C-alpha cells in the first residue's frame, strides 16, 4: 500500500500514526498518509510565516513564472493525477458528459495557467495639483486552506494558486477522505517553490480547528458544508481572520413552459447528476411547469435508466459511487423520508448490491417544499422534480431556502429568462445550463452558502488588504 507524507518547510514529514485512504468503489483502503496533529499545524505555520518575508517581495514576473511551471508539472503528471483522483473520490476517468477525473485534473491545469496571468495594479484615484492618491493591494500573510472531498485537487488549486499569485504563503489541510492528490500536488509544487511557501498537514477535525484558531494565520479559505463553515468562522473570530467560505448549496433550477423537454433533458440530467450529484453547484431541486411536468419527468427517467454506474477505472463508466459511507447514509435517509412523504420514485431509490458506496441514479416526482429531500442538500445521485403553476410561484419556491449558491432558468426566451434570473436569491444564475464555472468569472454564495467570492480579479482581491497612499504635491 503506497504511503503519502506531509510536506512542511520544503521537507517531507512522517508520523507514526497513519490515516487509511478508502477507495469508495471497493470500500477498501488503497493508500495511507501521515496523520498530522495541531503541533504539525504550528510547525507549518511557522515555516509559512518565515517564508512570507521573502515571498511577498518576489516580483510578479517570478511568481507568475513559478505558477506556470506548477501548471506544467500538473499537466506532465496528468495520468497519475487522474488515477489518484478516481481512486480516492470514485469519480470516473471520463464521466457523464466528460465530467470526471480528466476534467478535474485538466481544470486544475487550466485554472493555474489563467490565474497566473491576473494582475492587481495600483489604482490611482486622484492625481492633480493637490495630491496623488494611490490604492495598493498587499498580501495578507499566511493563508489557511481547508478543502473538501468532492473535487479535492481542483478546489485545492482554487485556494492555493490565487494565494500564491498575490504573495501569500499557504498551509493547506485536505479532507481526511481524499488527501492523496493534494499531497502529491504539494510535493510537485515544492520542487518549484521556495521552501515554506506551500505546506500541507493531513489529519482530522483537530487539524482544521488548529488552522482556524492559529494567531499567525491571516486568512481562512474553506469549501464545504454550511455547518462546518460556521464552526470555522467561530474559531477564526478570536483573531479576526479574513474569510472566504464557499458553503453548501441546494441549487434550484426553474424550467419554463416554452422549452422542448426532449431537447433539454440531457443537459438537465447532467446538471443534476455529474459526479453523482456531489458538487456544491449541482442542480439539486428542479421546478417544472405543470404543462410539461410529466414529459420532463419521463425524459429524465429514461436517461437515468441508461447511465452506466461502476468503478471509475472501468471503461465507459459514467457515474461512480458516493465518496464515503456517511454520505451514502444521508442519501438513503432522505430517500426513505421522500417515500414516507408521498414521493413517486421514477427510477432508482436503492443502494446498489455491490461492494462500495453505490446508489442508483434516482428521480423523485410529486414532492414539494417542506419535504426533506427538497429542503436539504442530498449531495448524491437523487433529485426531486417539483411541479409549479406560474412563474411567481416558481421563484418563491426556489428562493424558499436558507442556501443561495447557484440557480438556473431554462427557457427558449433568453431575454425573459434573464429577467427572471435577477429575482433568484443566489450568487450565480445560469441560463439554460447549470454549474458551469470559469476562472475569470466570480463565484460565491449568499445566505448560508458563504462569504466572499473566488476566481478572477474579484477572487484575487480576497487574498489582499487595501493600503491607501496619499502624496501631497
- Residue numbers annotated as active site: 246, 280
Residue with cell 521537507: 11
Q: Please name which of 316, 319, 345 lies closest in space to residue 332, comparing C-alpha atoms.
A: 345
CA distance between the termini of the chain: 68
Cell readout for 189 is 509544487
Cα–Cα distance, 455 to 141 (Å, whole number):
19
CA angle 354, 356, 359 (to 5 degrees): 75
SS3 135: strand
Cβ-defined contacts of 324-327 (< 8 Å, 24+): 324/22, 324/24, 324/149, 324/177, 324/357, 325/27, 325/357, 327/278, 327/357, 327/379, 327/380
HEC letters along 178-221: CCHHHHHHHHHHCCCCCCCCEEECCCCHHHHHHHHHCCCCCEEE
Alpha-helix residue ranges (DSSP H) falling in 152-307: 152-165, 180-189, 205-213, 226-236, 261-273, 293-304
Find the largest Cα–Cα distance for the chain: 78
Alpha carbon 274 to chain centroid distance?
13
Cα–Cα distance, 231 to 208 (Å, whole number):
10
Cα–Cα distance, 384 to 390 (Å, whole number):
18
Residue 280 carries which DSSP code?
Answer: T
Instruction: Judge contact between 106 and 78, C-beta under 8 A.
Output: yes
Strand order in the sheet with 11-13: 11-13, 6-8, 198-200, 169-173, 142-146, 219-223, 242-246, 450-451
Burial of 263 (0-12, 13-18, 19+ CB in 10 A): exposed
CA angle 12, 14, 19 (to 5 degrees): 120
Amino acid at each position: 500500500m503506497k504511503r503519502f507524507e506531509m510536506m512542511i518547510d520544503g521537507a517531507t514529514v512522517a508520523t507514526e500514526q497513519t490515516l487509511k485512504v478508502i477507495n469508495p468503489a471497493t470500500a477498501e483502503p488503497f493508500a495511507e498518509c501521515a496523520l498530522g496533529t495541531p503541533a504539525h499545524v504550528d510547525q507549518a505555520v511557522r515555516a509559512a510565516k518565515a517564508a512570507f518575508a521573502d515571498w511577498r517581495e518576489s516580483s510578479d514576473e517570478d511568481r507568475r513564472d513559478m505558477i506556470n511551471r506548477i501548471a506544467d508539472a500538473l499537466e506532465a503528471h496528468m495520468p497519475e493525477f487522474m488515477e489518484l483522483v478516481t481512486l480516492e473520490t470514485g469519480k470516473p476517468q471520463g464521466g457523464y458528459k466528460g465530467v470526471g477525473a480528466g476534467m478535474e485534473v485538466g481544470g486544475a491545469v487550466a485554472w493555474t495557467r489563467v490565474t497566473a496571468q491576473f494582475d492587481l495594479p495600483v489604482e490611482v484615484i486622484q492625481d492633480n495639483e493637490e495630491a496623488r492618491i494611490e490604492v495598493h493591494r498587499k498580501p495578507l500573510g499566511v493563508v489557511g486552506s481547508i478543502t473538501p472531498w468532492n473535487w479535492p485537487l481542483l478546489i485545492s488549486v482554487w485556494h492555493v494558486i490565487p494565494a500564491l499569485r498575490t504573495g501569500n504563503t499557504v498551509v493547506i489541510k485536505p479532507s481526511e477522505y481524499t488527501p492523496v492528490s493534494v499531497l502529491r500536488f504539494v510535493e510537485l509544487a515544492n520542487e518549484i517553490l521556495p521552501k515554506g511557501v506551500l505546506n500541507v498537514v493531513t489529519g482530522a477535525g483537530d487539524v482544521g480547528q488548529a488552522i482556524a484558531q492559529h494567531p499567525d494565520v491571516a486568512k481562512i479559505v474553506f469549501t464545504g458544508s454550511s455547518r462546518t463553515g460556521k464552526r470555522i468562522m467561530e474559531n477564526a473570530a478570536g483573531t479576526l481572520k479574513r474569510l472566504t467560505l464557499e458553503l453548501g448549496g441546494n441549487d434550484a433550477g426553474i424550467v419554463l413552459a416554452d422549452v422542448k423537454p426532449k431537447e433539454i433533458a440531457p443537459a438537465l440530467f447532467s446538471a443534476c447528476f455529474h459526479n453523482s450529484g456531489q458538487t456544491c453547484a449541482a442542480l439539486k431541486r428542479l421546478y417544472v411547469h405543470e404543462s410539461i411536468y410529466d414529459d420532463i419527468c419521463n425524459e429524465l427517467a429514461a436517461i437515468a435508466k441508461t447511465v452506466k454506474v461502476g468503478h471509475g477505472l472501468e471503461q465507459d463508466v459514467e457515474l461512480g459511487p458516493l465518496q464515503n459511507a456517511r454520505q451514502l447514509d444521508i442519501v438513503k435517509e432522505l430517500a426513505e423520508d421522500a417515500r414516507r412523504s408521498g414521493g413517486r420514485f421514477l427510477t432508482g431509490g436503492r443502494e446498489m448490491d455491490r461492494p462500495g458506496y453505490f446508489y442508483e441514479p434516482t428521480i423523485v416526482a410529486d414532492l414539494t417544499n417542506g419535504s426533506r429531500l427538497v429542503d436539504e442538500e442530498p449531495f448524491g445521485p437523487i433529485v426531486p422534480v417539483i411541479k409549479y403553476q406560474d412563474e411567481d410561484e416558481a421563484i418563491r419556491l426556489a428562493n424558499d431556502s436558507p442556501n443561495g449558491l447557484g440557480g438556473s432558468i431554462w427557457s427558449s426566451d433568453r431575454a425573459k429568462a434573464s429577467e427572471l434570473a435577477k429575482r433568484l436569491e443566489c450568487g450565480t444564475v445560469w441560463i439554460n445550463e447549470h454549474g458551469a464555472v470559469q476562472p475569470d468569472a466570480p463565484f460565491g454564495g449568499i445566505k448560508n452558502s458563504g462569504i466572499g467570492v473566488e476566481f478572477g480579479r474579484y477572487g484575487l482581491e480576497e487574498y489582499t488588504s487595501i493600503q491607501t497612499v496619499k502624496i501631497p504635491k
